[in-house]
Copies of this chain bind each other. A is one copy, B any other.
Amino acid sequence: MNTIPSVGFIGLGLMGHAMAKQLIKAGYSLCIHSRTASKAEPLIALGATYAQTPVELAKIVKNNIIIVCVTDSTALEDVMLGAQGLLSHIDPGCLVIDMGTSRFDLTQTLAKQAQVQGAHFLDAPVSGGQIGAQQGTLSIMAGGHPAQLERAQPLFNAMAKQTTHVGGNGCGQLAKTANQMIVGATLNIVAEALFLAKKNGADPAKVRAALGGGFADSKILQLHGQRMVDKAFTPGARATTQLKDLQQAADLAQNCALNLPLNQACLSQWQGMVDADLGGLDQAGILAWVALNNEQIIPK
């Protein structure tokens, strides 16, 4: 007899699918939902049950935990808000966790809406990409009440190697915004630096090796720098996602009347990359944009 209701999981994209799988592996009984029903099949084969709608899922999960991991803030609004939205149908005591990368203001709206229902909300976006999701080694940046974080921790432990409680609701998303700003600019400058060195006759592979261990060293230099050296631009995480996140950061800065010129310049570069039809490349493909941008300017 199953006395504890299932954990809910909505959103089965590359990240969500891998994360849900970790939860099943850890022994959780999952009730899943995806806009594209076929994406649920491999997880149903592993024992998950399927809910046709967020409302049906809310009824099955009752006052347990529902994780949402959808593409962007628009998709999140669709799942969460309105008459057929999750938040109008959750039971009191239910904990809803948004693990996607979502707008700061939307996060605060959702947290308040959950509270109106007598329910709870955590923003808990992740870093570590598809590989981190598949290996259960994500980093989670959490915002919300510490008691709810404690309640979610066993689930987080199945998906992540590190969870940091950043602050109240929205603070997880602020940390993720900071993360994406740093990732976007680091990728861009590593690409420009390797390109400049190569154009002057140095071997980018040796330049990258020379920089390891010094002040320029980073996860990006190690992982994406190697992809740049190898010109291995099959995604991984797409440039379009990076652009979305940098736009979100720029919007947030504008909303609070802040001037962040480097992020703005970086946003233009990722926009240029996507406009040049390179948005489907891995984020390391920003090197291809740096090269193309220079070829366009200097006729050969």
Nearest CB of chain B from residue A190's CB, rounded to whole Å:
6
Check A231 for interface membership: any CB of B closer than 8 A.
no
Chain B neighbourhood of A104, CB < 8 A: 200
The answer to whether A193 and B178 touch (CB under 8 A), given A201-B170, A261-B268, A265-B261, is: yes
A215 lies within 8 A of B167 (CB): no
Check A45 for interface membership: any CB of B closer than 8 A.
no
Chain B neighbourhood of A259, CB < 8 A: 293-294, 297
Chain B neighbourhood of A186, CB < 8 A: 182, 185-186, 189, 216, 218
Q: Report the stretch among A8-16, A22-30, A88-96, A157-165 that lies at the interface.
A: A157-165
Q: Report the stretch among A59-67, A75-83, A113-121, A206-214 that lies at the interface.
A: A206-214
B216 lies within 8 A of A194 (CB): no
Chain B neighbourhood of A72, CB < 8 A: none
In the complex, which residues 212-230 of chain A have their Cβ closer than 8 Å to any Cβ of chain B? Answer: 212-221, 223
Check A44 for interface membership: any CB of B closer than 8 A.
no
Check A41 for interface membership: any CB of B closer than 8 A.
no
In the complex, the chain B residue whose C-beta lies closest to that of A176 is B210
Measured in the bound complex, the distance between the Cα atoms of B221 and A268 in whole Å is 24
Interface residues of A (CB under 8 A from B): 104, 127-129, 139, 141, 161-162, 164-168, 170-172, 174-175, 177-186, 188-190, 192-197, 199-203, 206-207, 209-221, 223, 249, 252-253, 256-266, 268-269, 290, 293-294, 297-298
* Shortest beta-carbon contacts, A-B, top 9: A127-B214, A218-B218, A265-B265, A178-B193, A164-B210, A185-B189, A182-B216, A139-B214, A174-B202
